[in-house]
Structures are given as structure tokens and as C-alpha cells.
Chains A and B, each alone.
Chain A
Amino acid sequence: GESVGLHLPTLSVQEGDNSIINCAYSNSASDYFIWYKQESGKGPQFIIDIRSNMDKRQGQRVTVLLNKTVKHLSLQIAATQPGDSAVYFCAEKRAGRRALTFGSGTRLQVQP
């Protein structure tokens, strides 16, 4: 079936380095994508989103890239900090639906 998945279950980076978290999706009709950060014991926190008519969007220290040709989404975090340690989920909204379909998640570990 169609799904949203992630390439790497765990990513370990040094503090100050840039992090890249990847996500693959299979539904070409998806028109909206969101990245969430979930810290232990908390609900998912919205980080950044992007619509399918864009290929890049920047926020504070974060950038989302969308490659519709290969159905790939990535989250780039600049100058990773210990507070960035969490599980990151990509989610897609499929055209005609209001709910989100979530990927399997990547745990980001920031080493001091």
C-alpha cells in the first residue's frame, strides 16, 4: 500500500553540525507536508510545512526540501543543538483528505 516512510531510524550528530533527516512518500497526489518534532513525553510539535507547489521553504535554523520527481522530503537543521534531540516525523496530507499520514519517525541524537 501507499505509505510515508523514513530512510534512517536513528541519526547521531555532533553539536554544531548540520542535520539532515529524510523521508520518502509514495502518493503523488499528496499536496501538503509537515515536519513534527516529538520530545519524550510530549505531543508532536509543528516545525515547518511545505506545499507541493514549492520545492524549498526555510524557517529559523530549519529548511524543508521537497523533490516531487523522486517523492522525497528532507528536513535540514542548521547548527544542531542538544535541544534538538527528539524524534522527527514527516507527515503528508493526501489530496481530498483532511487527516495526515505519518512516517515511521527518525530519532535525532545530538552528541555534545
Chain B
Amino acid sequence: SAVISQKPSRDICQRGTSLTIQCQVDSQVTMMFWYRQQPGQSLTLIATANQGSEATYESGFVIDKFPISRPNLTFSTLTVSNMSPEDSSIYLCSVAGGGRNTDTQYFGPGTRLTVL
């Protein structure tokens, strides 16, 4: 499976500020996704990061709040904008399409965000 890294691994931020999370994969992948995992909860898809075009957002998530970039097949960023304490979560990058089974998704270690 692909090796996925995320930066930063954790951060504590002040409300009103923005944080950009990076996701790097060690091989080219077709699909990259961003998920949010609120404390003690399951994973919720934020958006699909599309290479060379605008991300596809799920209901309840908008580009102004969570701008996403994907300049190539191995890298993506997620920005959490104008943060509030409700944004405190784990943000997870996942990838698919890099191996024989194009549907299997593998996850990065996550970015643990605390907003004060």
C-alpha cells in the first residue's frame, strides 16, 4: 500500500486563524480524499481532491471554509479557514487507485487540530 504522510501531525490554533494541512503520498494515486473525524466520532467525507481542477465537496462543506488544492498525483492540501472551536477534529487524508485494487482506500496518520 502507499505510504501517506501528513503535516502537521497536530496543532493548536486560535479562533479566526487558518491552518493548511499537507498530504504527501510516495506514489502516484488516482484519487485523494479528505475526511474529518470529530472527537469520539466516525469519519465524515469533506471532499474529493481532484487533480488539476476544483475539489468536489460533500453536503455541508464549502470551498470557502475548506479550500483544497491538488497540484499533482502525489500531493494535496486542505485549509481550515477562519477556525472556530467546532473545527477541533482529526483531519485525515486518504488515497485510492495506486494499486491493483482501485477502490481500496488507505489513510494517512491524521492531523489533530485543536482550536481555542
The interface of chain A, by Cβ under 8 A from chain B, is 32, 34, 36, 41-46, 49, 89, 91, 93, 98-105
11 CB contacts below 8 A, A to B, read A44-B92, A46-B104, A46-B107, A49-B103, A98-B48, A98-B103, A99-B45, A100-B94, A100-B105, A103-B42, A105-B42
Asked if B45 contacts A44 (CB within 8 A), the reply is no
Judged by DSSP, the binding face of A is: strand
| Residues of B close to A32: CB separation below 8 A | 103
Distance A36 CA – B41 CA, assembled complex (angstroms)? 14
Q: Give the total of B residues in contact with A, Cβ under 8 Å.
A: 24
Are B45 and A100 interface neighbours, CB within 8 A? yes
In the assembled complex, the CB of A18 is this many whole angstroms from the nearest CB of chain B, namely 25
Closest to B56 in A: A99
Given contact pairs A43-B109, A44-B43, A98-B31, a sample of 7 additional A-B residue pairs in the complex whose CB atoms are under 8 Å apart: A41-B112, A43-B92, A43-B107, A46-B1, A49-B101, A100-B94, A102-B44
How many Å lie between the Cα of A105 and that of B39 in the bound state? 13
B98 located at the interface, meaning its Cβ lies under 8 Å from any Cβ of chain A in the complex: no
Q: Which of A98, A101, A103 contacts B96 (CB 8 A)?
A: A98
Contact B104 A43 (CB under 8 A): no
Expressed in whole angstroms, the minimum distance between the Cβ of A6 and any Cβ of chain B is 9
- A93 to B102, alpha carbons, bound, how many Å? 12
Q: A102 contacts B43, CB within 8 Å?
A: yes
Interface pair B42/A104, CB less than 8 Å apart: yes
Whether A43 contacts B42 in the complex (CB less than 8 A), given A49-B101, A98-B96, comes out as no
Mask: chain B, 85-116; 1 = CB below 8 Å from A; 0 = not? 00000001010100001011111111010000
Q: Which residue of A lies closest to B43 (CB)?
A: A102
